[in-house]
A and B are shown apart, each in its own frame.
Chain A
Amino acid sequence: MNSTVIPIAPKAVVAKPGWTDSWFAVRKELTPRSRVALIVGSFLLPILIWCAFSYLPFVWHPMMRISDPGSVSYFAPDMLVDKDVFRDETKTAKQNGTALPQGSGANPIYLPAPHQVAKALYTAFTTAPERKDGQWLHESLWHSVQIIFWGFLASSVIGVPLGILCGTYNVLSRLTEPFIEFFRYLPAPAFGALAVAILGIYDGPKIAIIFIGTFFQQVLIVANTTRKLDIALLEAALTLGAKKIQLLFRVVIPGILPDLYRDQRILLGWAWTYLIVAELIGTSSGITWFITQQARYKNFENVYAAIIIIGIIGLVTDLLLAALGKWLFRWERSPNKA
């Protein structure tokens, strides 16, 4: 980031506020420069912690990676052993006067270092599938994205209108919401076997799990959002001669759109959390197959690479959707304007 581009915060002339005042002012927007710094920091901080754990031996490193087994029968090069075990064996070897084992501090296998994950990320995208019926990583990802897309779409096509109707008409709300309240606590994955029996082994049951995981929350959340619409707007519309259907389509729906859009963004994030269970149902496919398989063989750098990719996809889609929402709902008052 070229620092000359960033506008410098205007200096207070009379009383220069202390740094606590400028950074910790309650609900006051920060200067553009500090905003950028904080965004970068929010990612940099966890990465730095991760680096510290990975590269600074004194931070954690509870294991020893064997470089020379010495006289210890069961040690082998590249084996990871507990520091205690290593110390005990070294002591025994010393007492017996036999060859000492050599090794250096290391982290457990389930915490790979950043550079290993970076390398795994790179190779994942650059390695062609070995089998004829194999898939590139981006193809697996694309498959997963499609599962989410169809599950979320199917849920929204029914859930959003139903939610709006429930929020508008108490009759519908009383009729459906108690059951939905009950159903939303049922774990979606539990319907896996049933979904397979009805929808087959391919994408049908996976989409169904995303659907079940999303739909019930969606109806309740959308209904709630609908109820939050200022009733005075409905009354104003009534006094202007709006009839029932017009009230719904010309006032309720346009009135809740920005909030509905925000709800949908949040719900889409939830849909992603159901992906891992959804893809374990039926044939193994998508990014989940990659993650579970690599975890089974303890190739954790690949697991982390895949997790990071999911995170990036989620973050980028949300940012894009947020920008789109800003453009779509230009008429919304900005939150800082009274």
Chain B
Amino acid sequence: MNNPPSLPSHLLQSAAVRDRFTRLKQREVILEVKHLGKQFTSAQGTVTALKDINFKTHRREFVCVIGPSGCGKSTLIRILAGLESYTSGEALLDGEPIVGACAQRGMVFQGYTLFPWLTVKKNVMFGLEMNDHSKTTAEREALQWLELVGLSKFADAYPHQLSGGMKQRVAIARALANQPRILLMDEPFGALDAQTRAKMQSHLLEIWKNIDITILFITHDLDEAIFLADRILVLKAHPGEVQELIEVPVPRPRNFMQITSPEFLATKARLEALIHPPKVEDDDEAQIRPHMIRMARVGDDVEDVE
């Protein structure tokens, strides 16, 4: 599946885009990962989840991480959040090594992880209170953040009364309320239906535009990655290594019309080529080989479904 001849190379950038990248790279480095490695040791033996990962993220940059299942995306982001240790290399935030979790690095999980016993407002206040803000300050700020994600009306609702998309908005507001240096997101929209997901994507870009935040976003959805990211970090599996760091040539501001633009399609074609190479099947799922047995009756009315 090579690029069709009609598409330009994904490396081709318009002047505006090139300009943007130049400026972006001049901004201060927020996150720097140097030769990062992670090995899991279990009864089954040692698994190298990550090997020699290197990249930098600049201030207010939107980076997506993409890669086949099991390539270590979650492991990477958990290390950056401080929830997992690493076995070699360095991970620096503002030049300081990352040790343990803290409010500097906010995280949004795929599974929402709202505190079910707290109202929406109290969920958002949680981080502020943990960081010694007074109750009144916390409440005032929480309401502002809820306003930003459009959930003011639900301030006193409990999480179980919200839809998945609403829950994830609360989770985003909760993470942002701490005003972290970087927002880490592990497949945050993975469990949402296509429509809600599209809405959440636009919404996230809107938020990102309006506040000073750097975002590292994990996804396995190529369109989502291209739509959101400045740059896309492509990982490959076994061991998890950086395969390529792609600069997305699609100009900003983004909208869904761009999905059919040549830049978009070219980038997607490149990603496809990287993630689903023609021969080598490399992801975890590929090692599970179902054995197809015909279970439909011969002579069935609808024998030919293909």
Contacts and interface: CB of A to CB of B under 8 A. Distances in A.
Interface of A: 230, 232-233, 235-243, 246, 250-251, 254-255, 257, 329-334, 337
Contacts of B126: 237, 240, 242, 250
Q: Which 6 A-B pairs have the closest CB atoms?
A: A241-B103, A240-B127, A333-B160, A238-B101, A236-B113, A239-B107
B158 A331 contact: yes
B101 A251 contact: no
B117 A238 contact: no
Contacts of B100: 238
B130 A250 contact: yes
Interface string B92-117: 00000000111101110101010111
Given A235-B101, A236-B109, 18 more contacts: A232-B109, A232-B113, A235-B113, A237-B126, A238-B82, A239-B103, A239-B105, A240-B103, A240-B106, A240-B174, A241-B101, A241-B103, A241-B131, A241-B178, A242-B126, A250-B130, A255-B116, A331-B160
Contacts of A235: 81, 83, 101, 107, 109, 113
Most buried by A among B82, B118, B130: B130
Given A241-B131, A246-B130, A255 B117 contact: yes
Interface residues of B, number: 29
B149 interface: no
Contacts, number: 78
Contacts of A243: 130
A86 to B, nearest CB: 67
Interface in B115-133: 115-119, 126-127, 130-131
Nearest to B101: A238
A254 B114 CA distance: 13
Contacts of A240: 103, 106, 126-127, 130, 174-175, 178
B160 A239 contact: no
B115 A238 contact: no
8 contacts: A239-B83, A239-B105, A239-B106, A239-B175, A242-B126, A242-B130, A254-B117, A334-B160
Dominant SS among interface residues on chain B: loop
A330 B160 CA distance: 10
Interface in B160-209: 160, 174-175, 178, 184
B116 A332 contact: yes
A152 to B, nearest CB: 25
Nearest to A247: B130
A334 B116 CA distance: 12
Given A238-B83, A240-B127, A330 B158 contact: yes
Contacts of A332: 116, 160
B56 to A, nearest CB: 22
Contact of B130 (A233, A241, A330, A334): A241
A78 to B, nearest CB: 64
Nearest to A230: B113
Contact of A251 (B81, B111, B115, B178): B115
A52 to B, nearest CB: 47
Nearest to A258: B117
A180 to B, nearest CB: 27
Nearest to A232: B113
Contacts of B111: 232
A242 B178 CA distance: 12
Contacts of A254: 115, 117-118
Nearest to B159: A331
B130 A239 contact: no
A237 B118 CA distance: 13
Nearest to A236: B113
Contacts of A246: 130
B81 A239 contact: yes
A233 B115 contact: yes
Nearest to A337: B160
B160 A237 contact: no
Nearest to B126: A240
Nearest to A257: B117
A119 B132 CA distance: 66
Contacts of B115: 233, 236-237, 251, 254-255
B147 to A, nearest CB: 20
Nearest to B180: A239
Contacts of B109: 232, 235-236
A236 B81 CA distance: 10
A239 B82 contact: yes
B113 to A, nearest CB: 4
A333 B116 contact: yes
Contacts of A333: 116, 160
Most buried by B among A238, A239, A242, A330: A239
A242 B130 CA distance: 5
A243 B174 CA distance: 17
Contacts of B178: 240-241
Contacts of B82: 238-239
